[in-house]
Amino acid sequence: MTHRHWDIFCTVIDNYGDIGVTWRLARRLAHDCGREVRLWVDDLDSFARIAPELDPALPQQTLAGIQIRRWPQADFPEDIIPGDVVVEAFGCRLPNRFEEAMAARPAKPVWINLEYLSAEDWTRGYHKLPSPHPQLPLTKHFFFPGFDAASGGLICEDGLIAAREAWQADEEAQRDYWRRRNVPALADHEWKASLFCYENPAAARLLQAWADGPQPVRCLVPEGKAQAAVSGLFDHPLQVGEHAQLGRLTVDVLPMSDQDDYDRLLWSCDFNCVRGEDSLARSQWAARPMLWHIYPQEDEAHLAKLQAFLERYCRGLPEEAAAAIRELNLAWNQDGDIATAWRNAARWLPAWRRHAANWQQQLLEGGDLAHRLLQFVAEVSEIG
């Protein structure tokens, strides 16, 4: 098999999105695509939060058939032979020694900068573009994940959609899941929502709207930054494992889980509030209505990115439904009137749910990110 050995580099910033995406990509390439993957990560403690089997004290270990290496920021090993393909996730800067070792290989590795996920039009002009190294005989290519056939796509494992469909049809499996997560039995008429966001003042107001609404709501909150906003509705900070009730709202705070369990949470809910990049992508495969808290940027560039996603995501919906969904997402990200926006969008939940199922099928036209990445590696190799 050509291009069998892959090196993937990841710098963990301040959340779990970067390592979440790279860990999913590493597993996809190793388990479904038959590649040998070495994953370099600078922060194994953060990595271990989403991969509990990982020992952050070990600088070198194998997990799920993937070689995990701590990425030292100084004194990178001199004896490392680069793989056939090198992926730097989200523009992280490769070690000089590693770049020199890449250049020393008779057959130069295919070098890819895996960019952040975006639906913005400008990314199409940069997707797959080459960038020659200023000193070394190496060329890096930009690769943009996205939401259409002209982009790099999204990670979707073999059999994932069938597994999700089977899960959503299996009520006993879902009941076992809630028991395992220490969530009290859910009533048949309870509407389930997950809440995973950054610090967001709109979160407490959305939960208050659910508490005051006509429908009993069970809100599942993974531990993290959303806890503070949720706790503001009650008279004390909510801890992991705690259950609290306000009006028609019940809140359960869940412990941090691995990626597979988080997928099951998304599959098990009627509505998902997600944040960043990895959970946004995974919510698409849940085929449920979702609300995106995009990572905020000081110059508000994130709002253009949000608008570009909503423009693509809402295509095919009735005009009034699309407008309500856009209004809800903007209120969520701009501290707007989230209660009114929720009431307007909630009227369209049945149509939104049907749209979500159709949308995830459209995303897979042309293959997932790993499939498109492998195709591109083959194309670059033929040209080279």
Contact (CB, 8 A) for 272 and 288:
yes
Tell me if residue 212 is catalytic.
Answer: no
Residue keyed to tokens 């130069």: 108
Q: Is residue 312 a contact partner of residue 119, using CB atoms and an 8 Å limit?
A: yes
Note the maximum CA span of the chain.
68
In the beta sheet, which residues pair with residue 141? 112, 130
Classify residue 3 as left (phi > 0), alpha (psi -120 to 50) or beta.
Answer: left
Which of 78, 84, 21 is CA-nearest to residue 374? 84
Phi-psi region of 241 (alpha: psi -120 to 50; beta: other; left: phi over 0): left
Pairing of strands 85-89, 110-114: parallel
293: tokens are 């808290």
C-alpha 31, offset from chain centre: 19
Helices 278-286 and 160-169, axial angle in degrees (round to 10): 60
Residue 97: phi and psi, rounded to 5, are -60, -40
Burial class from Cβ neighbours inside 10 Å (0-12, 13-18, 19+) for residue 1 reads: exposed
Beta bridge partners of 252: 220, 243
Q: Which residues pair with 33 in a beta bridge?
A: none
Q: Respond yes or no: is residue 277 known to be catalytic.
A: yes
Distance between CA 82 and CA 288 in Å, rounded?
41
Closest CA to 118 of 265, 304, 289, 246: 304
Catalytic member of 18, 88, 252, 278: 18
Sign of CA dihedral 152, 13, 196, 161: positive
Query: Which of 84, 115, 252, 277 is the catalytic position?
Result: 277
Instruction: Provide the Cα torsion 383, 150, 301, 345; round to 10°.
Output: -160
Strands 85-89 vs 271-275: parallel, antiparallel or unpaired: unpaired
Active site residues: 18, 277
